[in-house]
Amino acid sequence: MGLSENQLQELKQIFDSSVRPVILFDDDPDGLASFLLIYKHIREGKGIPVKNAPELGPELAQKVNDYAPDIVIIVDVPIINQEFIDKIKTRVVWIDHHPVVKRHGVEYYNPRIAEPEDNRPTSYWVYKALKENLWIAMIGMIGDWFFPEQEVIDEFIAEYPDLLSSDIKRPEIALHNSRLGELIKIISFNLKGKTSEVIKSIKVFTRIKDPYEILEQKTSGGRFIYKKYNRLKDTYYELIKQVKVKPQDKLVLFVYENPDYSFSAEISNELIYKYPDKIILVAWEYGGEYKCSLRSTKLSLPLIIEKALEGVTGYGGGHDHASGACVKINDFKQFIENIRKLI
Ligand SMILES: [Mn+2]
């Protein structure tokens, strides 16, 4: 199920016929990969990373219109205001895999319309439509905790045998036990920090032609990307070192403060890989809230999060084994207590 063969062909036609798109994308590996796949196909246009989707406002609509695009393509962004869509003066196409949202004035492609449980990532569908640059699609898919079908894996391994070993079958293993996983970490570190910095990295990415430019620092672009990763790596491993795991405790709870960057997704990915029997909760204090990243190999996290949020100011959700939540500072203790009771 998911997107039909017809829909994939429609997408291909849309990409083929555009010469000046604006592409808005979520600032994670899946969003970036989706953008890159489209941009590299069209070879023209403007990419804009979206940090906080609910805040897509009139200034951004103005910025988009000023560029005078022939189409606006939105990828991997879970929510868009109707007002934003209304202000855009051209055709809008939105490709996403988060829970279905009803909007008008937009051509909406979401696998969950046909099958509510189908959350295969955006980069997967864009790849299925274009069948180009599989290595970029793999960054998005594995980065989004999705392991594609064997056929796709075989094709990837045939081309890049040293990036992923054929006995790996789970995303959390691929993330930590392969060069592809390292590449994904390099890329997500490049999406952290000031917007101006992130935009620089993205510009460089659009010119990268193969993964070894980055992994082996073969070109100046590859070296630029690798350098940013190297700068943040020390901070990241300092944080990882501070994590304390109690053998008798089912929950690994790690709370940290860092003024510049959030590493929650990467830390929780690393912890679930090291402690597959535990439930992982990594929380970053930012702007009066705790932004939480949860991992478990066994439990269905969205259900637990939903229950733990009862009587708590916050929101959350995600995949069964990889989820997120955002909780007001004063309610955090209650939230953790609820989680403990539920597991
Ligand atoms: Mn995604």
DSSP single-letter state for residue 234:
H
CATH number of domain containing 315: 3.10.310.40
How many A from CA of 229 to the centre of ligand 1? 22
CATH number of domain containing 201: 3.90.1640.30
pTM: 0.91
Instruction: Answer with the one of 170, 200, 226 that is the final residue of a domain.
Output: 226
How would DSSP label each residue in 134-167?
HHHHHHHHHHTT----HHHHHHHHHH-TTTS-TT
Looking at the structure, tell me whether residues 204 and 249 fall in a common domain: no
Instruction: Answer with the one of 226, 254, 279 that is the final residue of a domain.
Output: 226
Looking at the structure, tell me whether residues 222 and 249 fall in a common domain: no
How many A from CA of 194 to the centre of ligand 1? 21
Looking at the structure, tell me whether residues 140 and 49 fall in a common domain: yes
Looking at the structure, tell me whether residues 253 and 133 fall in a common domain: no
pLDDT tens, position by position, for the chain (343 residues)? 899 999 999 999 999 999 999 999 999 999 999 999 999 999 999 999 998 666 688 889 999 999 999 999 999 998 899 999 999 999 999 999 998 999 999 999 999 999 998 989 999 999 999 999 999 999 999 999 899 999 999 999 999 999 999 999 999 899 999 999 999 999 999 999 888 999 999 999 999 999 999 999 999 999 999 999 999 999 999 999 999 999 999 999 999 987 778 899 999 999 999 999 999 999 999 888 999 999 999 989 999 999 999 999 999 888 888 899 999 999 999 999 999 999 9
Q: Report helix, strand or coil for 21.
A: strand
How many A from CA of 324 to the centre of ligand 1? 13
How many A from CA of 31 to the centre of ligand 1? 6
Looking at the structure, tell me whether residues 49 and 133 fall in a common domain: yes
Kindly state whether residue 234 falls inside one of the protein's structural domains.
no
Amino acid (one-letter) located at 191:
L
Kindly state whether residue 317 falls inside one of the protein's structural domains.
yes
- pLDDT of 140-169, one tens digit each? 999 998 999 999 999 999 999 999 999 999
Kindly state whether residue 233 falls inside one of the protein's structural domains.
no
Q: Report helix, strand or coil for 313.
A: coil
Q: Report helix, strand or coil for 321.
A: coil
The total number of structural domains that make up the chain: 2
Distance between CA 138 and CA 156 in Å, rounded? 8
Mean pLDDT, the chain, whole residue set: 94
Looking at the structure, tell me whether residues 194 and 50 fall in a common domain: yes
Looking at the structure, tell me whether residues 142 and 194 fall in a common domain: yes
Query: For ligand 1, a single-atom ion, which residues have Cβ within 5 Å?
Result: 30, 76, 121, 144
Looking at the structure, tell me whether residues 208 and 299 fall in a common domain: no
DSSP single-letter state for residue 247:
T
Kindly state whether residue 101 falls inside one of the protein's structural domains.
yes
Looking at the structure, tell me whether residues 269 and 182 fall in a common domain: no
pLDDT of residue 72: 98
- pLDDT of 190-239, one tens digit each? 999 888 999 999 999 999 999 999 999 999 999 999 999 999 999 999 99
Instruction: Answer with the one of 226, 259, 289 that is the final residue of a domain.
Output: 226
Kindly state whether residue 231 falls inside one of the protein's structural domains.
no
How many A from CA of 24 to the centre of ligand 1? 13
Q: Containing domain of residue 333, as a range?
A: 244-342
How many A from CA of 97 to the centre of ligand 1? 7
How many A from CA of 247 to the centre of ligand 1? 33
How many A from CA of 320 to the centre of ligand 1? 14
